[in-house]
Structure 1
Amino acid sequence: MLYMRYLLTLLFSLVLVPLLAQEPPAQPIRLELPFTTEDVEAEVIALPDSSLLVYHKTSNTWETEATFHFTKYNSRLEEVWTDTAALAPDSDYIRYYTTGPYTYLCFSGDNLRDYTFVRLHHKTGKTWHKQFTIEPLEAIYEYKVLQDKYFIIGRNRKDRKPLLLHLNPDSGEVTPLPSVYGEESTFSDLLADHEQNRVDAVITESNGRVSRLQVKSFDANGKLLNNYFILQRENVNLLNAEITPGDTTEKMLLGTYSTRDLRFAQGFYATPLASRVVEGNFYSVLQLKNFLKYMKPNREARTRRREEKRLQTGRNSGFNYRLLLHDLIVTPTGYILAAEAYYPQYSSPRSSNLGLTPQALTLYRLADEYKRSHAVALGFDKNGILLWDNAFPLTGVTSSELRHTVEVQHLADGRVVMAYPENSKIVYQLMNDDLYNDEKTELELMPYEENEKIQSTEYPGIIRWYGNSMAAFGFQRIRNKESGTRQVFYINKITF
């Protein structure tokens, strides 16, 4: 009897664990705001103190008048404070950066040289804003702030190449910083390391045939502190990298590499910055346990066999992946590097209209959209040793611009969640190290009341928030049997 009792207990635990693992995320709180897509532009930003900042702009039809609102909500989605900023009516939100007690928001105007920066104090809601005319720029891709000084990556108005600028908001002085050199060089990462009081810019230098990395470090005033050229192994090109925080002896570069065509990656690598030489830790796609799991099992097996034969005969890798890296996630034990595998989609070329052959026309075509095959996450320790990898198939996920389509969050229990919005659903994948789950998991967003129905969802989004919680948001049309239809901007707290 005792043996049977132990056996039943073991069987019950084996059944119980998968059931618990399949329990859907909770939706404990929902906030609805009376916004419509016709009248309001809105963004949701997670703050370091477990609160949310909601920005929204209201304007008239001709955009000759506009009001810019900023409201903070606590973790229970209760309003903490609200304020407005008197910006030019043609100002359009671009992006934000958060550090310490402030969030910095950037707005562009109809004149592509004019940019307005807003600084918000998280605790008081006090705002500061100022418009700057930045002559060299016609677009801003990224910016970071160190000691209230701005480091901006943008597109050069003259040659349309990327450039790095330093902006002193007190004096309004804009200074170009030494950065990109090669014809096809670009920026891979920009990190404001506040503990070290420096900004690190990771630059991919390329002449179209070979590429290498260099890292330039600046102080808050834009003074160059150090320049690191990362030497690499023969026949290996370092495509891009994310840099870790810490002092020079601790900093790591984690990124992708290529063995031939610079457009495609064949694997990942990790290397210490201080060595100035890529010493080891290269991981080809073939070495990763789950990178190819987005394929059906038979196709994955055939692909692996074909690749192994190529390598045995001394040929270069046949894997060709375009990978869009996410910002590095720092964990208590190391780092998580996430990336999305994508490929551009083109419409049929009309060479006769331009007098070009179809082959020549491909050099001038722009992608209509970017389709995703899957996303991956790789866990590294502090020394850059790969601990695990996992994958998230992204069937039917596309974007009109090359931007991130999934959100990635490291949970308190060590798991990683990847998620993206799909109409009124959240599609997600919970990753427990390298244990791959091939089941598609979806969460239907809940309205306020059980008798209500979500009729439509527009501009859905999801961001990581705090702890095990994410925030899903967007515009919805809700049908209530008693009170009729309403249009709202919603925020649903989702807790894994």
Structure 2
Amino acid sequence: MKNIIVGWLGMMALVVAWQPVAAQEPETSIVPAQPARLELPFTQYDTDVHVLAIPEDSSVVMLVEKDVFIGSRTSYTFHKYDHQLKDLGTRNVEIPIEYEFKLMSAEATAVYALFQSRYAPERLLVAGLDGRTGDVALVKFDTEVTRDVLDQKVLAGNLFVTVLLDQHMTVVKLDMKTGKHQLLPSVYEPLSTELTFLTDSATKRAEVIMRQSNGVKSRLQLKQLSADGELINSEFVQTESERSLITAQVSLGDSSDRMLAGTYTLRDPRYSQGIFSADLTAGTTPTGVRHSLRFYDFTRLKHFFDYLKPARAARIRQRSQERRAANRELPLRYRLLVHDLMPFQNGYVLVAEVYYPRYRSDSYGPGMVGTRYRQFDGYHTTHAIVCGFDRRGNLLWDNTFVLKDVESYELEETVRLRPMPDGQRLVMTYLEEENIHYKIIDRSLPTPNDLVVPLQPANPEVKEKLSSTNYEGMQAWYGSRFLAFGYQYVRAHRGAGRDVFFLNTVSFD
């Protein structure tokens, strides 16, 4: 489960202040513990396991989708485990054969699994697990219009499902109490629109962020919705310069501090030039531009180019300085996958993964006269940036986690972030096959990018070898803990090996 960039050129000059650290001593004092491991007798050939780490009560909920016999009805079972990965019980879920699993999400300790009919896509089914009682409720919805399901969020017991409808994106509210549905009239955007839907259980509000374009420039529209899906407020964020805003995330919680941060471009909306931030509580100009809007070109970030060799990074910075001296900007071409904002130290942290799509050349036809064509070959993620802001959107520091061989056919988040126990530092981590890669983030201080520890077997004293890890992933959990999971083959020192689905606790406490 991995992710994905494109760089530019420049001239020669070494700027010591921007030079990434080359050889670094390993930070051997910080090694994550793995206090618990659970192995389940599931294989990737006859089961699909969907995992949710629940911070609210430090639990783990899994939905196991198992094909008992080929062509027969698929069985579904909720499994719940505590922070030590001890069994808290299972619940079988009777799902009619016409439905297939789509998405799973949680609010507090309640978990909701969404299913869609294979034959009539407008028919949806939700299985809701009460995390405290273990009760499961099944509610069917005939939305009459739904086609492709794109996303799902939960707020006050209602599901907000982003769906595709007539080449537009809209949101359907599913009321679990009444079994009724509602199309939100305030969200109906062309398929090309960048749309982010966030929910805030503390304020019982939802935030919708949409990119709107006139073909030349783009701006952002922000909408606040109630827990019932009613429109509360709508506002625009736009620029007076040639810059266009692409994607953004907004801080949740206290409405007296609303910060927006994301990416901007100079021309092509596929590529980012840098990051921007804005204090949404500050005023606007007569033309509607935010007084607090700030832009940070990637060349102005201290660590953005750490993934490159020092000489190449220096050339890019030198080229940018020369362009800036001539009152021009060096165009940059980076694709970023932006994470949700995370509160940290009386401010916020923004994480974004830098990626690029890969293509391979294939040919068909006899001999030299065959036709060659480009075929999509997944995404490659080079590095993840992490930026610290105060509550008003001022950039305080930045850092970068250089990733290794991270590839995926789905564009999804790879790195995970949690605060360290001292409250002063952060840890970023991801799972690649049998190895846990991590980096300690101490504001802008250079720290190693190559820290790695192997996954531990259930009993480290027994000589067992973990291999053939597939569909692996990592989720942020609670405190300074993460949850690693995936399919694996465990080779025993003596006797037969075994295929398992594993859960490993990864603790930086």
**Structure 2 length-normalised TM:** 0.86
Q: What residue number does 1:460 align with?
A: 472
Q: What residue number does 1:73 align with?
A: 81
- The whole-number CA distance in structure 2 between the counterparts of 1:442 and 1:90 is 44
Q: What residue number does 1:177 align with?
A: 185
Q: What residue number does 1:208 align with?
A: 215
Cα distance per residue 1:17-45 (max 9 Å; x no partner): 97765442111211111111222211221
In structure 2, the CA distance between the partners of 1:349 and 1:133, relative to structure 1 (3 Å rule), is: farther
Q: What residue number does 1:448 align with?
A: 458
Q: What residue number does 2:50 align with?
A: 43
Other structure's SS at 1:81 match: strand
Other structure's SS at 1:368 match: strand
More deviation, 324-333/407-416: 407-416
The two structures, once aligned, show a CA RMSD in angstroms of: 2.5
Q: What residue number does 1:433 align with?
A: 443
* Correspondence 1:338 to 2:346: no
- The whole-number CA distance in structure 2 between the counterparts of 1:350 and 1:36 is 35
Q: What residue number does 2:128 align with?
A: 119
Aligned pairs for 1:25-424 (under 5 A) are: 25-47=32-54, 48-89=56-97, 91-111=99-119, 112-156=121-165, 158-159=166-167, 161-169=168-176, 170-181=178-189, 184-187=192-195, 189-274=196-281, 275=283, 277-278=289-290, 279-348=292-361, 367-413=376-422, 414-424=424-434
Gaps of 5+ in 1: 1-16, 353-357
Other structure's SS at 2:353 match: strand
Percent identical residues: 32
- The whole-number CA distance in structure 2 between the counterparts of 1:281 and 1:259 is 15
Other structure's SS at 1:397 match: strand
- The whole-number CA distance in structure 2 between the counterparts of 1:29 and 1:140 is 35
- The whole-number CA distance in structure 1 between the counterparts of 2:399 and 2:386 is 5
* Correspondence 1:494 to 2:502: no
Cα distance per residue 1:345-367 (max 9 Å; x no partner): 22338799xxxxx9xx99xx874
**Structure 1 length-normalised TM:** 0.88
- Given that 1:329 and 1:335 are in contact with CA atoms closer than 8 Å, whether structure 2 keeps it comes out as yes
Structure 2: which amino acid aligns with 1:148? G
- The whole-number CA distance in structure 2 between the counterparts of 1:487 and 1:171 is 41
In structure 2, the CA distance between the partners of 1:93 and 1:415, relative to structure 1 (3 Å rule), is: farther
- The whole-number CA distance in structure 2 between the counterparts of 1:415 and 1:238 is 30
Structure 2: which amino acid aligns with 1:377? V
Other structure's SS at 1:178 match: strand
Structure 1: which amino acid aligns with 2:338? L
- The whole-number CA distance in structure 2 between the counterparts of 1:183 and 1:36 is 37
Other structure's SS at 1:307 match: helix
Cα distance per residue 1:171-202 (max 9 Å; x no partner): 42332422345673230x21212232221101
Number of residue pairs aligned between Structure 1 and Structure 2: 468
Cα distance per residue 1:397-432 (max 9 Å; x no partner): 121122222222233323222222221112222211
- Given that 2:52 and 2:105 are in contact with CA atoms closer than 8 Å, whether structure 1 keeps it comes out as no
Which of 1 and 2 has higher RCO (CA within 8 Å, sep 6+)?
A: 2
In structure 2, the CA distance between the partners of 1:248 and 1:24, relative to structure 1 (3 Å rule), is: closer
Compare the two structures and name the one with the higher helix fraction.
1
- The whole-number CA distance in structure 2 between the counterparts of 1:149 and 1:337 is 28
Q: What residue number does 1:476 align with?
A: 488
